[in-house]
Structure 1
């Protein structure tokens, strides 16, 4: 589920969106962890096929995934991009780097390269990451997730009442939103 489905929903419903960066696994070491080590009993190929099937209607492609990255720096960098008016470009670039190019988005040098590609100042980003200037926003997002009992991503909160978790079909969103129209 990505921006494509949100844009499609906006054509049918009067909705506003706010993307909140949530660190799903803060315990992941800075260098990341191999998926096969984290989930030894999971058929990774089958999991990827399910991802591909779910993403296909929305033009989302998933390549092979070997590493679960520590997303803390990437989420902080995203908040930096938000303040510079480039959050959507940053989100899209991070998604592609991680899910299609198999890049470790937990690596500071990878982030510097990716955010430079979208026109952000690398020195400013490096200083921001070194000083962890956006860590308080991540902590606030974690508190918000706790409040809504979010334990998986993506997660969607509709009118502070309805919670949808995981990749859902367009029809699920239609039904959830039609209640509020």
Structure 2
């Protein structure tokens, strides 16, 4: 949407928010103790309504390592955005475990990626150095949450925000 209004060049960088998360994931209530999950889902669905997105009631936080490596693989093959969108839908709407390599292989097939090539990349942890480097870069830039957007190398937008927030920041950057 905003790419039609502004000359946006986006670069997605992998950021493993909780690398200590076990492979099988952990309950959402453990990550966010005391959170009102019902209210959280109501807020998420209210935000998603204008875009036709109905979020599922996520009960576990997946370990994102496999998903982030798979996204790097997709990036190398020119299918990042398509794969990223599919992983988003799988996790937040379909409630699939994106920490499961078999789920990543299934999603890769769905977007036309070579799933055997991805299997080899996951088994050898091929993209782990990129994840480490991205995490180090994020730490240097004081990034501690996802998503974080950096506009014109200076303005940060943290978390899921409205299009109006992005539009205002992009307009401000365009006038500099």
Counterpart of 1:5 in structure 2 is: none
Structure 1: distance between partners of 2:170 and 2:63: 33
- Cα shift at 1:147: 2.1
**Following superposition, which runs of at least 4 residues in structure 1 exceed 2 angstroms of deviation?**
36-40, 55-61
Q: What do the CA deviations read for 1:112-160 (whole angstroms, capped 9, x no partner)?
A: 1111121222221111001111111111211221122111111100111
Counterpart of 2:63 in structure 1 is: 70
1:69-148 aligned within 5 A: 69-148=62-141
Q: Where do 5+ consecutive residues of structure 2 fail to align?
A: none
Structure 2: distance between partners of 1:137 and 1:96: 24
The counterpart of 1:41, out of the listed 13, 19, 34, is: 34
CA contact (8 A) 1:28 1:69 kept: yes
- Cα shift at 1:39: 2.5
Q: What do the CA deviations read for 1:44-86 (whole angstroms, capped 9, x no partner)?
A: 1111111111222233331110110000111001111111111
Counterpart of 1:180 in structure 2 is: 173
* Secondary structure at 1:179 match in 2: helix
Moved more, 8-17 or 84-93: 8-17
Number of aligned residues:
174
Structure 2: distance between partners of 1:116 and 1:55: 27
Structure 2: distance between partners of 1:13 and 1:31: 40
Structure 2: distance between partners of 1:99 and 1:19: 19
CA contact (8 A) 1:52 1:61 kept: yes
- Cα shift at 1:14: 1.9
* Secondary structure at 1:102 match in 2: coil
Q: Where do 5+ consecutive residues of structure 1 fail to align?
A: 1-7
